[in-house]
Amino acid sequence: MYVKPQGGALPQPLGILAAMAVEGQAIEAALAVPQSRVILGRPVVSGLLKGHRVLLAYGGVGKVNAALAVAALADAGAAAIVLVGTAGGLAAGLKTGDAVVATDLIQHDVDVTAFGRPAGFIDGEMAGGSADADLSDRLVAAVTQIGQTVRRGRIASGDQFVASQIRSREIADQFDAVAVEMEGAAAAQAARQLGLPLAVLRWVSDGADDQAADDFPKFLAHIADLDLAAVKAMIV
Ligand code: SAH
């Protein structure tokens, strides 16, 4: 079970989880004494960032990959996990490049409502969970420090790249979610079951609307530097 560090220090080694290589490549390039290995089929690079011990995992896209990557980081000895990457913005007023830090996360594609269960509930629990409050506060402070706009709220995750105004409205309304992506809630569920604190930082790459498939790849040019700047700013 996680015990909060004395004196409010950032946990270490700090696990950083990126679905795609492009999302973590600037962090990886900034690591001192980098060492790579493969755990549960995914690359995990350990090293020092501003002297802080870091474990960077490339998990792959989607919920199964996210859960395995959390397990890989737990196996590697991570004391906490920060998931970084992009999301489609759902909340009014969110702009491309704004940050979203999750308060809590839910799998929008988990559905046993046929048995009278609430949407997103399966096997006795909600599919997702709360983000760690302390790590999330640190993320909000870090994003603010690097001069980016940040919003807190619920993130919905599912094995679907949402690229339709109709579908994104459904998810926003059904789950009161501010952003949608493909890993966060699965990572949160896995981290909760493994007793690891986890926080989620997403940069809005698109509006999860009919233009999303065009907007998303264009935004990838910025993602590596934003992730690095935020994680560095977290490490005081
Ligand atoms: N480029 C990959 C697919 C990436 S899927 C391929 O070619 O196969 C999109 C990734 O960005 C996921 O990791 C997801 O978490 C995030 N994402 C960004 N915008 C999203 C959206 N509108 N819907 C769902 N996930 C989104």
Does residue 210 fall inside a structural domain?
yes
Answer whether residue 2 is part of any domain: no
184 phi and psi angles, rounded to 5 deg = -55, -50
Residue 3 clears pLDDT 80, i.e. is over it: no
Rounded to an integer, what distance in angstroms lies between the CA atom of residue 18 and that of residue 56?
8
Going from the Cα of 122 to the center of ligand 1, the distance in angstroms, rounded, reads: 24
Residue 167 lies in a domain: yes
For all residues of the chain together, what is the average pLDDT?
96
Q: Whose CA is nearest to atom 6 of ligand 1?
A: 61
Nearest CA to ligand 1 atom 1: 217
170 is catalytic: no
Asked if the structure places residue 196 within a domain, the reply is: yes
**Does residue 210 have an active-site annotation?**
no
* Predicted confidence band of residue 6 (pLDDT cuts 50, 70, 90): very low
Residue 66: CB within 6 Å of ligand 1? no
Question: Is there a domain that residue 124 lies in?
Answer: yes
Is residue 183 lining ligand 1, measured as CB closer than 6 Å? yes
pTM of the model: 0.96
Q: Indicate whether 65 pLDDT > 50.
A: yes
Q: Which domain holds residue 90?
A: 11-234
Tens digits of residue pLDDT in 91-144: 999 999 999 999 999 999 999 999 999 999 999 998 999 999 999 999 999 999
Which band of pLDDT confidence, cut at 50, 70 and 90, is reported for residue 1?
very low
Alpha-carbon span 129 to 149, nearest angstrom:
24
- Looking at residue 118, its pLDDT comes to 94
Instruction: Give the Cα separation of 194 and 137 in Å (integer).
Output: 22
Nearest to 205 by CA among 195, 214, 194: 214
Q: Is residue 5 part of a domain?
A: no
CATH code of residue 125: 3.40.50.1580
Please tell me the total count of domains within the chain: 1
